Structure formats: structure tokens, C-alpha cells
Structure 1
Amino acid sequence: MEGSTAATTRRGETYAGRSREQRASERRARIVASAVHLFGTRDYEDVTVADVCTTARVSKRYFYEHFEDRADLLLKVNREQNEWLLRGVAAAVPAQPASLAELFGPALHTLVSMLKSNPESARVIYVNAPRMESRRRGVLREDAQFVAAVLRRAGGTPQDQIGYDRTLLALVAGLSEVIIDWISHDMAGDPDRLADHLTTVALALTTTAVSL
């Protein structure tokens, strides 16, 4: 009897060689991929939970195992996509840049390249996110903290902490607006030139606030 119960439990937990947790993870990944595609190609108001489920090939029951509603989905997908972008940017920063130009140049060229190669993710991060005002403001502060962490890793020293914090917040907000404008114009123009312009802006704002 015990053996039969154990076998039944094992059959219930595994299917096609995958555990319950693996199947749940795969379903969530499909939902997220569906959301990135739909939010990256349509306005937020034009995407429904049913649309996401249909594209992901999951039932609404499984959707609600991971997300509360459409707004919660966009919130979490935006956060995950932004984290993906920041990981790529962080990896591009030299371990010991000799100048701010050597820090910001590779970082911003990588950022623009990643967005150009992933236009749907770009829209999820920068275009649909502003519809959620509190999240947008939170992202700006998170990104400012990220820039501060990168500068600390490179040995950057703020000359005035309050001014430094405000400068980094102004920096990420300003760069974000330029990127939003670029995305809204279908990423027209030379991406390397855009990255150079962003680097120039970053240097102009930070040169007086931090030294390496």
C-alpha cells in the first residue's frame, strides 16, 4: 500500500520527465516571453490577460499562480527586463577604468546595443513602464543606485554626497528620456552615435560631482 501511494505521488509530481516545479517554471517563462512580446508591440491598454495566456499557451489558472493581474505582470516583467539590461551594462564596465569616459563609454554603448537588438524589451522597459508612475520613479532611483555602485567599484569618490545623489538621479532620468525618444522614433539613426551622445551627457553631468 505504501509503495503504491509513493508511486502515485511520483507520477503526480513528474510528467514527461519534468517535475512539477520545472513545469511551473517553464509556464512562467512562457508567460513572461508572451508579455514581453505583447507589451513590446502594443499599448498596455490593448493587452489582456487572455491575450497573454493564448500566446503563452497556458490557461488563466496557471497565469494566476504567478501573477495577480495584468498590472502585476507588467510590473514584474518590467523589473526583470530592467535587471537583465543592468546586468549586461555592468558586465561591460572595465574593472578599473582610468577615466569616467572609459567607464561610461562601454556601458552606454552596450546599453544601446542591447536595446537595439531587443526592441520589444526596450519598449517594455522604457515605453510601457512610464504608464505606471510609481514604478517608473522607483526604477529611476534603482538605476541611480546602480550607477553609484558602478562608480564605487571603479573607485569613484563623491565630492558632495547630496549633490552627487541628485546628479545621478538627474543623469538616469535624462538619459531615459533621450532613450524613450529614440525608441518612439523606431530606433532611427546610428546607435553608436546615440551612445556617443549619451556618453557626452553622462560626462557633462558627472565630471564635477565625482572623481576617479
Structure 2
Amino acid sequence: MTPQAPRQGNTTPDEQAAGVAFGRVYSGLRSEDRALERRGRLIEAGIEVFGTIGYAASKIKTLCQSAGLSERYFYESFASREQLLTSVYDHLSSELMRQVVHVTRLPGRTLTESVRAGMETVVNFNLVDPRHAQIILVEIVGISPELEAKRHHSMTKFAAESSRLVLLLGGVDSESAEDASDEDDSLADVFELARLTGVAMVGGVNNMLLDALRGGTTANTKQITEAAYQLISNASTGVRVLAGK
């Protein structure tokens, strides 16, 4: 966009006040909004570059070219490539979690339909656009202790959601975990089994996705979704037995 030249001598007092409060307006956007727009373009560029040529081979110049921005605008939003990678990972993992939470809680679905929809969402998000899987499962790994901690935190959140679904399939109210006392060993065992199962589910599904990415079978989404559903469904049997359902 070409910045609109400020009008000379005919701005109103209100416009002048707005300029002081919010910064100059270009093509209908405040400077703050334009900065956010540029940041979004850089995140999209990060998805493209990190998801195709990889983080190690990427350069700030390449990222800026992909975003259609000069390097000075890169440093307006990010201090380094790693900081951009962090933001890209945050963007993708947050969006995936948002979608999973949405589809597993839609009204009018049976529990089985909701769980299948959750598995399908995870698989499709990663494999329909393989750049997502490349970043989430490959590029983010081993970059720095800070990113490893962030990756573990994200996986823990997905494991918690998987644990919730395992409990529901096992006939256990997932909300009652907060009511489990230290003396209630049987109930505590149920929730610990569900927690560990959730951790295993994340690892297992991630490895299936990585296998598809590496093996060139990313179009195999239906079979992978079914395998993921069977994993969580079979795991819920152990929860059901332990809970005496």
C-alpha cells in the first residue's frame, strides 16, 4: 500500500488529537495496525519458509522476501529467527488446540463422534498442510532449551485434552478429577492412568504423523485418523475396568 500523504492545513482538531493519540493513519490503518499486519505477514512467511526449506537453512532475507517486507520491518517485530519460529509455533499450536476444543464440544454429537472429530482435526491440521507437521514435529525440536520447554508445555496441554477424552470414553466424569482426594487411591489411580494414556496418545499420534511426513503418505489421513481413534478407544477400556464401570 502507498501511504496517503497527510492533508495540509485542513485537519480538524479531532483528527489532530487522533493523530497524537494513535499515530499517523496510512491507507485507513493506524501505524499500530500496520505493524500488526506486518507481523502477521512475517508469521505467514515463517510458516512457508520454515515449513519448506527448514529453520536451519532459512535466512532473515529469505523470510522478508517471502513476506514482501524489508529487513527493518523484521526487526520491528522480532529480535531473531528463533523468536519468529517461537511465534510461528505458538500460532500453529494455539490454532490447533482451538480447533480441537471446538469440534470436541459441539452440541448434538455423540461422544464417539466428538472424539473422532478431535482425532480427525489433529490429523488434517498437520497433514493437509504438511508445513504444519514439519514445523510442529521437526523444525521446533532441539533449537534451544526455551523452545524445548515450550514444546513440552504444548504437548502437556494436548495430553490433558486426550486424557479428558479417555476418561469420558471410559465412563468417568473428567471434571471429578478435582474432587479426588489423596485417600481415594482407586480414583487417583484412574486419573493417573488417564493422564499417562494422554501422554502416550500425544506421542503415538505424533509419531504416526511424522511417519506420514517422512514416508510421503500425508494423503493417508483417513487411515491415520482411524488408527488414532482406535488407540484412544482401546485405551479407555483400561480406564473403564480400573474405575469399575
Q: Distance in 2 between matches of 1:166 and 1:149?
A: 11
Task: After TM superposition, give the deviation of residue 31 of structure 1 in Å.
Answer: 0.1
Task: After TM superposition, give the deviation of residue 66 of structure 1 in Å.
Answer: 2.0
Cα deviation, 1:98-152, whole Å, max 9, x if unaligned, reads 54x4332121122222333322223222221223433332221121123345668
Residues 48-197 of structure 1 mapped to structure 2, 5 A cutoff? 48-93=59-104, 94-95=106-107, 98-99=110-111, 101-132=112-143, 133-148=148-163, 155-156=173-174, 159=187, 160-188=190-218, 190-197=220-227
| Letter matched to residue 93 of structure 2 | N
| Unmatched tracts of structure 1, length 5 or more | none
Task: After TM superposition, give the deviation of residue 18 of structure 1 in Å.
Answer: 0.9
Instruction: Indicate the structure whose relative CO is greater, using CA pairs within 8 Å and at least 6 residues apart.
Output: 1
| Letter matched to residue 137 of structure 1 | H
Q: Tell me if the contact between 2:115 and 2:165 (Cα under 8 Å) persists in the aligned partners.
A: no
Max Rg structure: 2
Q: Distance in 2 between matches of 1:184 and 1:54?
A: 28
Query: In the superposition, relative to structure 1, how do residues 11 and 67 fare at CA in structure 2: closer, same or farther (>3 Å)?
Result: closer
Between the two proteins, what is the percent identity of the paired residues? 23
| Letter matched to residue 135 of structure 1 | K
Q: Distance in 2 between matches of 1:85 and 1:72?
A: 20
Q: Tell me if the contact between 1:168 and 1:206 (Cα under 8 Å) persists in the aligned partners.
A: no
Query: In the superposition, relative to structure 1, how do residues 18 and 152 fare at CA in structure 2: closer, same or farther (>3 Å)?
Result: farther
Moved more, 79-88 or 59-68: 59-68
Q: Distance in 2 between matches of 1:10 and 1:80?
A: 30
Task: After TM superposition, give the deviation of residue 201 of structure 1 in Å.
Answer: 1.3
Aligned residues: 211
Structure 1 segments (4+ residues) deviating >6 Å:
151-154
Q: Tell me if the contact between 1:95 and 1:153 (Cα under 8 Å) persists in the aligned partners.
A: no
Q: Tell me if the contact between 1:30 and 1:56 (Cα under 8 Å) persists in the aligned partners.
A: yes
Aligned to 1:46, the other structure's residue is in SS state coil
TM-score by length of 1: 0.83
Q: Distance in 1 between matches of 2:53 and 2:151?
A: 19
Q: Tell me if the contact between 2:167 and 2:239 (Cα under 8 Å) persists in the aligned partners.
A: no
Query: In the superposition, relative to structure 1, how do residues 88 and 8 fare at CA in structure 2: closer, same or farther (>3 Å)?
Result: closer
TM-score by length of 2: 0.73
Q: Tell me if the contact between 2:46 and 2:63 (Cα under 8 Å) persists in the aligned partners.
A: yes
Q: Tell me if the contact between 1:40 and 1:124 (Cα under 8 Å) persists in the aligned partners.
A: yes
Q: Distance in 1 between matches of 2:151 and 2:92?
A: 13
Query: In the superposition, relative to structure 1, how do residues 7 and 70 fare at CA in structure 2: closer, same or farther (>3 Å)?
Result: closer
Query: In the superposition, relative to structure 1, how do residues 7 and 79 fare at CA in structure 2: closer, same or farther (>3 Å)?
Result: closer
Aligned to 2:6: none
Query: In the superposition, relative to structure 1, how do residues 58 and 162 fare at CA in structure 2: closer, same or farther (>3 Å)?
Result: same
Q: Tell me if the contact between 2:51 and 2:131 (Cα under 8 Å) persists in the aligned partners.
A: yes
Q: Distance in 1 between matches of 2:158 and 2:213?
A: 19
Aligned to 2:51: 40
Over the residues paired in the alignment, what is the CA RMSD in angstroms? 3.1
Moved more, 132-141 or 192-201: 132-141
Q: Distance in 1 between matches of 2:110 and 2:152?
A: 32
Q: Tell me if the contact between 2:166 and 2:236 (Cα under 8 Å) persists in the aligned partners.
A: no
| Unmatched tracts of structure 2, length 5 or more | 1-8, 178-186
